[in-house]
């Protein structure tokens, strides 16, 4: 029989919210009848009766309780059924089944389809059960099967007994289910503190290196601005290469923690090697540039030479975050919170920038600072092997899905985000002192905002059901905050004069003024950028795209930004129009629904979205 059209019709009737409980009961009975006749051949078609499935046919409320004990064929059928009827309880169960490493891939893919069908967007099982428990606690009536009855059943499964119904008074049913969901959330949650500590230390070392490399490059290039552009492009280019090339191998690895430790070792060892290779390599690059080079040849040698020189270290950096995310996912048999790891890594980067620029480099020099960062890399490698020494088992593969749209969005937002950073740094370098301290303050504020945005997303936005609408809101908010930051840049000189007048002269006053300028231009946009990347990366993994691939595509777009915005558009359009182009780019990425809604609110016919949306 054609089950899908029948269930679609019944679902349409259910969504109309019948006026009486009598009508609701009739519709539930109809759904039960459909499931009964569909599942009879599965229950009695074999050599012996499947008593568990017969019990499940009594009421579709029991399907979630029984699905883990059934054979793969029946599991797949039940996943399809729960997705078709959009059963509200099914979200956490389907997500849990999709992450079960013991289940066949065909079952996990069916569970992923069902999870998306019921509106699921989470990749953290603990958060999913927490959200379900919150719905119960808030008294969501749709979650109660028979609200007019005195009792409702809470279902459980026992391997020897089978399905076990426990009747509870309807007046406390929601509270009981809330506690049950909360208990499940606690059971599947994990302590991320060791992983977060490693991410903070790794981020500290990475951005400490960036400060050191920027100053070293300024010495042989002879100009701070050129060094900043070259290092930023090389940094993100290497991160993209590492994430895209190494992430698939990490995903297939039995022990991804070894990849993490290996990458940390490579970073530290290559930093030590650069101490001996930097002078001869940069001398050769200067010979290639020549005395009076053409601009195209100059920038080509600078960008390509810096990229190749730093590639072993930056590529390994690009693989550390995906490797740690995969390590946690393998240990828990479920997705780890991307936003949490991303926020921790970025917070460590803030500490690395500030400590290197204001403490280590002035007090101890570039070589000692690099040695401290290398030591952190070695300690991270050793600690990871000690903390995450788990028995090897096959890591679940991510299903290939229709993820082109989210990958395009990740690349575009990476391009625009770093493009905005490069343009603001170039503009403020004309107002501020334009020293390494200026760059460090700007970078620190950028990273602080990004970390706050990722943390805020994990805390308040990660449970949002309408993923597309949230993405549109973040894009429009980002466009507005970039415009606000551009307007603030117009008054940068006035703001600097006001702060210096209030605080007086001196190093501390100058640094405070530069921090105020950076906050006015960067803070709000970067908070939204951090939330937007976390949202897109979470959606990518829910669509079957690995975090490493998502990170690689995002940083690949970011690697193009210094050359495109800092050299080409800056020269061709000027600072103001280049900054306005960034805000327009974020608006252009909004979905068709957002543009249609905007046209409806203004009373005009919905306009066609810009190309690329």
- Residue pLDDT, tens place only, 100-137: 777 888 888 888 888 888 877 766 777 778 778 777 77
Burial of 36 (0-12, 13-18, 19+ CB in 10 A): middle
Residues with Cβ within 8 Å of residue 176, at least 6 apart in sequence: 154, 168
Which of 138-142, 288-292, 410-414, 529-533 comes out lowest in average pLDDT? 138-142
C-alpha 53/C-alpha 61 separation (Å) is 13
Give the residue among 487, 348, 516, 608 at the shortest CA–CA distance from 479: 487
Average pLDDT, the chain: 80
CB 315 within 8 A of CB 171: no
Tell me which DSSP letter residue 167 carries: E
Provide the pLDDT for residue 610.
37
User: Which pair of structure tokens corresponds to residue 135?
Assistant: 């719905």
Q: For residue 595, is pLDDT > 70?
A: no
The residue written with tokens 């209030």 in the block is 502
**Beta bridge pairs of residue 155:** 165
Give the residue among 175, 92, 168, 95 at the shortest CA–CA distance from 130: 92
Q: Residues for the chain: how many in total?
A: 613
CB 348 within 8 A of CB 454: no
Give the residue among 491, 553, 567 at the shortest CA–CA distance from 243: 553
Q: For residue 344, is pLDDT > 80?
A: yes
User: Which pair of structure tokens corresponds to residue 290?
Assistant: 């020549």
- pLDDT-based confidence at residue 241 (cuts at 50, 70, 90): very high
Cα distances (Å, whole numbers) of residue 184 to 93, 190, 364, 371, 542: 11, 12, 51, 45, 21
Cα distances (Å, whole numbers) of residue 360 to 199, 211, 248, 352, 386: 20, 11, 37, 10, 29
377 vs 542: which has the higher pLDDT? 377
- Residue pLDDT, tens place only, 84-101: 766 667 788 888 888 877
Phi, psi of 395 (to 5 degrees): -80, 140
Strand, helix or coil for residue 151: strand
Q: Percent of the chain scored above 70 by pLDDT?
A: 76
Domain ranges of the chain: 3-188, 193-601
Give the residue among 258, 343, 249, 339 at the shortest CA–CA distance from 541: 339
User: Which pair of structure tokens corresponds to residue 34?
Assistant: 């459909």
Phi, psi of 154 (to 5 degrees): -105, 120
Provide the pLDDT for residue 148.
80
Distance in Å from the first CA to the final CA of the chain: 40
Tell me which DSSP letter residue 20 carries: S
Phi, psi of 193 (to 5 degrees): -60, -45
C-alpha 446/C-alpha 425 separation (Å) is 10
Q: For residue 522, is pLDDT > 70?
A: yes
C-alpha 147/C-alpha 160 separation (Å) is 31
CB 228 within 8 A of CB 561: no
What's the sign of the alpha-carbon dihedral 429, 431, 432, 435?
Answer: positive
C-alpha 257/C-alpha 97 separation (Å) is 24
Which uninterrupted H or E stretch holds 154?
Answer: strand 151-158
C-alpha 64/C-alpha 177 separation (Å) is 14
Burial of 276 (0-12, 13-18, 19+ CB in 10 A): exposed
**Beta bridge pairs of residue 158:** 162
What's the sign of the alpha-carbon dihedral 362, 367, 371, 373?
Answer: positive
User: Which pair of structure tokens corresponds to residue 110?
Assistant: 């069916």
Provide the pLDDT for residue 434.
63
- Residue pLDDT, tens place only, 436-469: 778 888 889 999 999 999 989 988 887 677 888 8
Provide the pLDDT for residue 63.
57
CB 546 within 8 A of CB 209: no
- pLDDT-based confidence at residue 161 (cuts at 50, 70, 90): low
Which of 105-119, 189-203, 321-335, 401-415 comes out lowest in average pLDDT? 321-335
Which of 180-194, 552-566, 593-607 comes out lowest in average pLDDT? 593-607
Give the residue among 329, 325, 326 at the shortest CA–CA distance from 340: 325
Strand, helix or coil for residue 122: coil
Q: For residue 156, is pLDDT > 70?
A: yes
563 vs 22: which has the higher pLDDT? 563
- pLDDT-based confidence at residue 558 (cuts at 50, 70, 90): very high
Give the residue among 266, 275, 385 at the shortest CA–CA distance from 318: 266
597 vs 396: which has the higher pLDDT? 597
User: Which pair of structure tokens corresponds to residue 525?
Assistant: 């946009």
Which of 222-231, 446-455, 493-502 comes out lowest in average pLDDT? 222-231
Q: For residue 603, is pLDDT > 60?
A: no
How many CB atoms neighbour CB 286 within 10 A? 15
Provide the pLDDT for residue 569.
92
Give the residue among 441, 551, 509, 450 at the shortest CA–CA distance from 211: 441
Q: Percent of the chain scored above 90 by pLDDT?
A: 35
447, HSE (Cβ side, Cα atoms, 13 Å): 23
Provide the pLDDT for residue 9.
56
Q: Where are the beta strands (DSSP E) in 221-330?
A: none
Q: In CATH, what number does 193-601 get?
A: 1.20.1250.20
Q: For residue 300, is pLDDT > 80?
A: yes
372 vs 592: which has the higher pLDDT? 372
- Residue pLDDT, tens place only, 251-296: 888 889 999 999 999 999 998 999 888 889 988 998 998 888 888 8
Which of 346-350, 371-375, 402-406 comes out lowest in average pLDDT? 402-406
- Report, as an integer, the average pLDDT of 346-358: 91
Provide the pLDDT for residue 567.
87
- pLDDT-based confidence at residue 176 (cuts at 50, 70, 90): confident
- pLDDT-based confidence at residue 414 (cuts at 50, 70, 90): very high
Q: For residue 601, is pLDDT > 60?
A: no
C-alpha 432/C-alpha 513 separation (Å) is 8
C-alpha 255/C-alpha 198 separation (Å) is 17
Q: For residue 398, is pLDDT > 50?
A: no
Provide the pLDDT for residue 606.
46
Q: For residue 428, is pLDDT > 70?
A: yes
């Amino acid at each position: 029989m054609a089950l899908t059209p029948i269930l679609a019709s019944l679902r349409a009737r259910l969504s109309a919210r019948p006026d009486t409980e009598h009508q609701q009961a009739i519709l539930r009975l109809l759904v039960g009848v459909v499931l009964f006749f569909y599942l009879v051949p599965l229950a009695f078609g074999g050599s012996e009766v499947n008593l568990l499935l017969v019990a499940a046919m009594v009421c579709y409320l029991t399907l979630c309780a029984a699905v883990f004990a059934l054979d793969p064929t029946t599991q797949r059928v039940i996943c399809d059924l729960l997705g078709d009827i959009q059963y509200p309880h099914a979200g956490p169960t389907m997500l849990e089944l999709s992450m079960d490493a013991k289940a066949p891939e065909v079952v996990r893919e069916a569970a992923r389809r069902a999870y998306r069908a019921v509106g699921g967007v989470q990749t953290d099982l603990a958060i999913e059960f927490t959200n379900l428990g919150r719905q119960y606690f808030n008294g969501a009536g749709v979650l109660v099967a028979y609200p007019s009855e005195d009792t409702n059943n809470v279902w459980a499964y026992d391997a020897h007994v089978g399905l076990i119904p426990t009747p509870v008074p309807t007046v406390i049913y929601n509270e009981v289910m809330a506690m049950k969901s909360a208990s499940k959330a606690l059971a599947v949650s994990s302590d991320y503190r060791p992983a977060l500590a490693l991410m903070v230390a790794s981020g500290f070392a990475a951005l400490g290196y960036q400060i050191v490399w920027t100053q070293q490059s300024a010495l042989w290039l002879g100009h701070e601005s050129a060094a900043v552009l070259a290092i930023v492009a090389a940094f993100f280019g290497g991160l993209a290469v590492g994430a895209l090339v190494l992430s698939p191998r990490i995903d297939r690895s039995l022990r991804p923690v070894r990849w993490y430790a290996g990458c940390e070792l490579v970073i530290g060892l290559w930093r030590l090697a650069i101490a001996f290779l930097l002078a001869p390599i940069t001398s050769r690059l200067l010979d290639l540039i020549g005395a009076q080079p053409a601009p195209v040849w100059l920038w080509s040698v600078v960008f390509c030479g810096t990229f190749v020189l730093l590639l072993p270290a930056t590529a390994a950096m690009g693989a550390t975050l995906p490797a740690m995310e995969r390590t946690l996912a393998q240990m828990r048999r479920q997705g780890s919170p991307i936003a949490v790891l991303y926020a921790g890594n970025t917070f460590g980067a803030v500490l690395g920038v500030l400590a290197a620029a204001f403490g280590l480099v002035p007090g101890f020099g570039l070589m000692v600072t690099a040695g401290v960062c290398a030591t952190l890399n070695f300690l991270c490698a050793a600690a990871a092997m000690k903390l995450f020494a788990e028995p090897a088992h096959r890591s679940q593969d991510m299903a290939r899905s229709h993820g082109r749209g989210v990958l395009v969005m990740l690349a575009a937002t990476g391009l625009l985000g770093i493009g905005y950073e490069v343009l603001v740094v170039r503009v403020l370098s004309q107002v501020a002192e334009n020293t390494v301290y200026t760059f460090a303050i700007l970078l620190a504020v950028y990273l602080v905002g990004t970390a706050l945005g990722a943390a805020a997303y994990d805390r308040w936005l990660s449970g949002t059901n309408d993923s597309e609408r949230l993405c549109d809101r973040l894009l429009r908010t980002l466009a507005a905050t970039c415009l606000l930051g551009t307007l603030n840049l117009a008054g940068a000189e006035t703001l600097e004069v006001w702060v210096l007048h209030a605080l007086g002269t001196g190093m501390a006053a100058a640094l405070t003024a530069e921090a105020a300028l950076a906050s006015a231009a960067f803070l709000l946009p970067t908070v939204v950028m951090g939330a937007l990347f976390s949202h897109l990366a979470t959606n990518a993994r829910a669509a079957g795209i690995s975090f490493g691939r998502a990170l690689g595509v995002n940083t690949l777009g970011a690697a193009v930004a210094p050359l495109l915005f800092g050299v080409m558009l800056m020269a061709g359009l000027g600072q103001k129009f280049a900054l306005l182009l960034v805000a327009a780019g974020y608006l252009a990425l909004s979905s068709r629904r957002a543009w249609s809604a905007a046209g409806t609110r203004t009373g005009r016919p919905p306009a066609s979205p810009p190309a690329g949306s």
